[in-house]
Amino acid sequence: MADEILATVPVLRFAPSPNGALHLGHAYSALMNERIGADTKGRVLLRIEDLDRTRCKPQFEAAIVDDLAWLGLRFPPPRRQSEHGDDYAAALARLDQRGLVYPCFCSRAEIARAANGQRDPDGAPLYPGTCRALAPAEARDRLARGDKAAFRLNMRRAIDSNPARLCWTEFGEGAIPTQHPAAPEVWGDVVLRGRDLAASYHLAVVVDDALQGVTDVVRGRDLLAATAVHRLLQALLGLSEPRYRHHRLVLDLTGEKLSKSRQSWSLAELRATGLAPEGVRAALGFCSGAAVGPAVEFG
């Protein structure tokens, strides 16, 4: 754990990916950032997590800004991940210099077969470390001839090189902090740079938070387990440790988390029905009065 959390004006960030329209779950997270920023007299930044240039589109980013303004949320000009590949490359190089990174040439199908049903906390096949055993000369030859590779963290070596006990300061949605133990090993050798991406989510979010001076990370509980990986990377790179506030998730009436992949109702669709922003705020518990918006559940 870092020696101290910066005692400056709190800095928070809302960080959507422009690969689809915002839904009520995004609204809840954005409004929670607004509330905590106001309560702590901090400021909230907007980050556009657009590393996946295939799925992320400028029109989705424009719609995100429009939806947030409709909710009454305005931010300084955002940081776009697509414009900061050099920052991620520098962090990856630092880890590589310590012998903590290796190229992985396995396809998704090969990983799924080799995982034998084991899963990481996100439910993806747990990578068994196949390419970790490749001789360095063979790996260099394959890269030289143009074989595509992802770059993975050697998890066991990374943990061994950081003997301090890893944990993080967790507030949830309350005011009383607890020390949450970190167990990054359950993720296996996570990807730090994809075959066609400048960085994975794990590496990019850690670098971005540090460069933007983020002191408080407010995000959904679905990212609670990933925080263990982020704390390890922060320790390895000598970066400051933010406070973490993992909030509840907005569920649909079947009890499932709202998501773009499930085609959950977007804010734009709700707006088209004539719903006012006050209705969304009330439905999500962010203003007094009747919840005239859609019925929601939390989990």
Distance CA 268, CA 64 (A): 9
Q: Write 107-113 long-range contacts (CB < 8 A, 24+).
A: none
Distance CA 62, CA 18 (A): 9
Structure tokens at 271: 């707006």
Structure tokens at 223: 């990212």
Q: Crossing angle for the helix pair 85-97 and 201-211, nearest 10 degrees?
A: 110
Distance CA 256, CA 205 (A): 26
- Cα dihedral: 84, 87, 91, 96 (round 10): 80
Give yes or no: 260 in active site.
Answer: yes
SS (H, E, C) 236-258: HHCCCCCEEEEECCEECCCCCEC
Nearest to 43 by CA among 188, 254, 255, 218: 218
Pick the catalytic residue from 41, 57, 257, 260.
Answer: 260
- Which residues participate in catalysis according to the annotation? 260
